[in-house]
Amino acid sequence: MADSSFDIVSKVERQEVDNALNQAAREIAQRYDFKNVGASIGWSGERIEMKATSEERVKAVLDVFQSKLIKRNISLKALDAGEPQASGKEYRIYASIQEGISQENAKKVSKIIRDEGPKGVKAQIQGDELRVSSKSRDDLQAIIALLKGKDLDFALQFVNYR
């Protein structure tokens, strides 16, 4: 019998992020506590730019955006938001969306699978994803449960299960 396998990836659907961003922008434009503070959120090239006239307001803009991401099932671990920076009379936060598993993170996941997973499970690093294979589908299910139980500092998705 052939080996069963699945891929571990760290990808974010760009359209869902865009939808969350648009919802956050609409809410910020309508909310009373954001009136006359110059609060805004939008794309600035490949990253997201949030602006407001005070540090508290720009953090509130980030909070609104994070709540919209959660509602769209996007892990906040994929959002890399910086600290508020003063820029003239306004404060800005730049955030980016992390995609792909770095080599170092892939090695961490591979080590967890080797050390704590069932025997006979193989993990191979393939670019920015990790392929996990085994003869037993039950072992693969156990690996998925093991990794979901771990508190890793990056988002994981499990795809191509066969």
Q: Identical fold at 4-11+101-159 and 14-97?
A: yes
The pLDDT assigned to 93 comes to 94
pLDDT the model gives residue 117: 86
Question: Of 2, 1, 25, 5, whose CA–CA distance to 162 is shortest?
Answer: 5
Report if pTM > 0.95: no
Using one digit for the tens of pLDDT, what is the confidence trace for 48-97? 999 999 999 999 999 999 999 999 999 899 999 999 999 888 999 999 99
Sort strands 4-9 and 40-44 into parallel, antiparallel or unpaired. unpaired
CATH 3.40.50.1360 fits domain 4-11+101-159: no
CA–CA distance, 17 with 95 (Å, rounded to integer): 12
- Whole-number Å distance between alpha carbons of 60 and 19: 19
What span, in angstroms and rounded, lies between the C-alpha atoms of 162 and 55?
49
Domain ranges of the chain: 4-11+101-159, 14-97
pLDDT at position 128 over 90: no
CATH topology of domain 14-97: Alpha-Beta Plaits (3.30.70)
